[in-house]
Structure 1
Amino acid sequence: MTITQPDLSVFETLESEVRSYCRGWPTVFDRAQGSKMYDEDGHEYLDFFAGAGSLNYGHNNPVLKRALIDYLERDGVVHGLDMSTTAKRAFLETFQETVLRPRDLPYKVMFPGPTGTNAVESALKLARKVKGRESIVSFTNAFHGMSLGSLAVTGNAFKRAGAGIPLVHGTPMPFDNYLDGRTPDFIWFERLLEDSGSGLNQPAAVIVETVQGEGGINVARTEWLRKLADVCKRWDMLLIVDDIQMGCGRTGGFFSFEEAGIVPDIVTVSKSISGYGLPMSLCLFKPELDVWEPGEHNGTFRGNNPAFVTAAAALSAYWADGEMEKQTLARGEQVEQAMKAIRAEHPDATREYRGRGLVWGLEMTTPDHASKIARRAFDLGLLVETSGPESEVVKLLPALTITPEELDEGLRILARAIRETV
């Protein structure tokens, strides 16, 4: 792909140095549809990023766009805080009928602020309020958000350092296979819990991702998740599953914990819950945990009605018949076969591949290779990001609605980018 030098002057002179994604993809995007994005010069890019997982149904999905345009054209309420609106009612009823009831999940639904970290903050606050304890256990390489409470349970040292103050009341434990299988699951955790001299305050809750996205696509085994749920139950700790990136069908089932057969006490959902990239998040919890006083946790933009509209449309279109889960798992097998072939072609440059559904990571033996591969993929017309503590993993996060042909095209580009880089 031949790319002319874009005019980035206003971004470089006026926008903060904190910007990041745009540095790896130095062009000016103009429009997008489905799994493709186009820059202002008309160059086409196949999107294996999907808004960091907030566009599971692709860019400008026509079904969701139609629902949104119709709502806006009739002057439907846009901003409503936590007022009752027809859009909110439609979402709640659809969510109950298509997601909660078929899975026999009893959750109450809370609308915190519109981002994932808002949902995590509300989950941590609720757990502490219910249990009357301040300590939260998280896991190595976890990522839960960029606000202070979420950072306190996040593992990445670079992101934690940005807080500028001590991050307290969070204790990390080894994630699944962090110790390469050399010790039994949770032996360290339970020893600390039972020893009054360990220095670990009795935790209010444990927060976990079933697949650590930012941490490097680290996939927890179903048996590990079940053991964790059992530890929480035996030691009177609430189990919080952060499903912000891995929920909404990313791993196959609507919730990423379904395969393990567990029912967390609290679940955080965001990113693709609106389906259209509109800000929205949920904090779900068992009814007996609903001890909030009115207004005890709030936010000006917790009632994003356009997001309710597209969310309800997405649930009705994609989650009423179970076909989305089957399709995602089939597309995942397609990716896995490509990863297997790449690993075989480059045994010295690649360490391993791992994933579930339509989230996959390829770990490189030389960390900076991943960033070089992502940049070469961009030059070839493919958008991929990196993850892991040293950005050593090439991360694939295509839309769930991507066609087999588009997926195959992107995987071929990735294979070429790796071949030309390593």
Structure 2
Amino acid sequence: MTITPPALSVFETLESEVRSYCRSWPAVFDRAQGSYMYDEDGHTYLDFFSGAGALNYGHNNPVLKRALIDYIARDGVTHGLDMGTTAKRAFLESFQNKILRPRDLPYKVMFPGPTGTNAVEAALKLARKVKGRESIVSFTNAFHGMSLGSLAVTGNAFKRAGAGIPLVHGTPMPFDNYFDGRVPDFLWFERLLEDQGSGLNQPAAVIVETVQGEGGINVARPEWLRALADLCKRRDMLLIVDDIQMGCGRTGGFFSFEEAGITPDIVTLSKSIGGYGMPMSLTLFKPELDVWEPGEHNGTFRGNNPSFVTAAAALDTYWADGQTEKQTLARGEQVEQALRAICEEHVRLGAEYRGRGLVWGLEFTDKSRASAVARRAFELGLLIETSGPESEVIKLLPALTVTPEELDEGLRTLARAVNETA
């Protein structure tokens, strides 16, 4: 496919230089449906990006779209802050009945604002309020958001530098396999906690991603997560799991920590929780942690009623039984087989893959190759992004609703892009 970059336009003349994705994909998109996007020139793209994980159910999912149209058509409440509405009630009841109760999770639900970083900021603030301490422990290569509190527990040097001020009260620890298995898990962390001369203030909480998406698709082992949960319990620290990108079924189970059999104290959700790609986020926490005073943490857009409608429709449609989880795991096996074949064909490139469910990464010894493969994939009609601190990992995030045929098409295109840039 031949792509003609859009001419100098309002994007270049008026929009800030901070824009990024449009630089990787020089097209003007006009329509989208399911796993496909279409630009204004008629080109078709298979989407293995899914709105950075915000579109687990695909573009313009017909079931969710119908629910949204019906709600708008009857003049349902659009903006309601944290007022009680029928849309919010329906979502909360569905979330309780389809997600929390079947998993025996006791969480209270907080709507902190429309984005993932809002959920993280609320989680950090609550942990500090509950424990009366300032320090938060995070992990190498973590990404938790772009506001100041979230950046303080983010590892990426480029993102952190954008803050413009010192980022304090956060301490990084080695993520799972950071030392390639040469050092026992949590050796350094435990030693600092028990040593009165270490200089580490007693942390209020530990925040972790079970799979580091932006950090390079680094997958934590279930036993590592269980050991972390045990460490937090023994050392009186709250455990926060950031499930913003990996939740809502991305790794198989609705929550990415289910496989490890742990129950975090606090969980953050955003991106696909709204179902349709509209802004929404949740901060979940155990009831005994609900020490907020009324209005102590608020925001104008903390109750997005159209998102409640599509979120409830997504839960009722895709999470009433275990079929979505089974399908995601089956699709994941299909991806793994294809990536294994690519790696076996390109041993000399040091190709390696890793992932869970429908999130996968492909890395080469030459760190610049990932960007070259992504560029060629775009030219061939496949949208994929890169991740990792040096954009060294090809990141695959197809919709959970992707068909086996669509998956096969995208994986064949990826293999071709790798071959043509080798």
What code does the residue aligned with 1:340 have? R
Question: Any unmatched runs of 5+ in structure 2?
Answer: none
State the 1:6 CA deviation: 2.2
- Specify the alignment match of 1:266 in structure 2: 266
- Specify the alignment match of 2:385 in structure 1: 385
- Mapped contact 1:273–1:280 kept (Cα < 8 A): yes
- Specify the alignment match of 2:77 in structure 1: 77
The separation in 1 between residues aligned to 2:219 and 2:351, in whole angstroms, is 15
- Specify the alignment match of 1:205 in structure 2: 205
> Is 1:6 the counterpart of 2:6 in the alignment?
yes
The separation in 2 between residues aligned to 1:380 and 1:172, in whole angstroms, is 40
State the 1:365 CA deviation: 1.0
* SS of corresponding position for 1:267: strand
* SS of corresponding position for 1:348: helix
Residues 88-107 of structure 1 correspond to what in structure 2 (within 5 A)? 88-107=88-107
Deviations along 1:67-125, one digit per CA (max 9) or x if unpaired, are: 00000000000000000000000000000000000000000000001000000000000
**Percent of aligned pairs with the same amino acid:** 86
Question: Structure 1: which 4+ aligned runs deviate by more than 4 Å?
Answer: none
Residues 231-246 of structure 1 correspond to what in structure 2 (within 5 A)? 231-246=231-246
Deviations along 1:388-412, one digit per CA (max 9) or x if unpaired, are: 0110000000000000000000000
* Greater mean alpha carbon deviation, residues 342-351 or residues 388-397: 342-351
* Greater mean alpha carbon deviation, residues 341-350 or residues 223-232: 341-350
Deviations along 1:197-231, one digit per CA (max 9) or x if unpaired, are: 00000000000000000000000000000000000
How many residues align? The count is: 422
The separation in 2 between residues aligned to 1:69 and 1:370, in whole angstroms, is 40
- Specify the alignment match of 1:187 in structure 2: 187
What code does the residue aligned with 1:198 have? S
- Mapped contact 1:274–1:280 kept (Cα < 8 A): yes
- Mapped contact 1:331–1:404 kept (Cα < 8 A): yes
State the 1:349 CA deviation: 1.7
The separation in 2 between residues aligned to 1:368 and 1:11, in whole angstroms, is 27
The separation in 1 between residues aligned to 2:148 and 2:348, in whole angstroms, is 40
- Specify the alignment match of 1:145 in structure 2: 145
- Mapped contact 1:123–1:283 kept (Cα < 8 A): yes
- Specify the alignment match of 2:162 in structure 1: 162
CA RMSD in angstroms, aligned pairs only: 0.6
- Specify the alignment match of 1:328 in structure 2: 328
State the 1:54 CA deviation: 0.2
The separation in 2 between residues aligned to 1:5 and 1:216, in whole angstroms, is 29
- Specify the alignment match of 1:398 in structure 2: 398
The separation in 1 between residues aligned to 2:50 and 2:133, in whole angstroms, is 38
Question: Any unmatched runs of 5+ in structure 1?
Answer: none
The separation in 2 between residues aligned to 1:349 and 1:97, in whole angstroms, is 48
The separation in 1 between residues aligned to 2:128 and 2:338, in whole angstroms, is 44
- Specify the alignment match of 2:310 in structure 1: 310
TM-score, with structure 1 as normaliser? 0.99
What code does the residue aligned with 2:286 have? K
What code does the residue aligned with 1:364 have? F
Deviations along 1:292-351, one digit per CA (max 9) or x if unpaired, are: 000000010001000000000000000001100000000000000001000001112234
* SS of corresponding position for 2:201: coil
State the 1:8 CA deviation: 4.5
What code does the residue aligned with 1:202 have? Q
What code does the residue aligned with 1:298 have? N
What code does the residue aligned with 1:404 have? P
> Is 1:376 the counterpart of 2:376 in the alignment?
yes
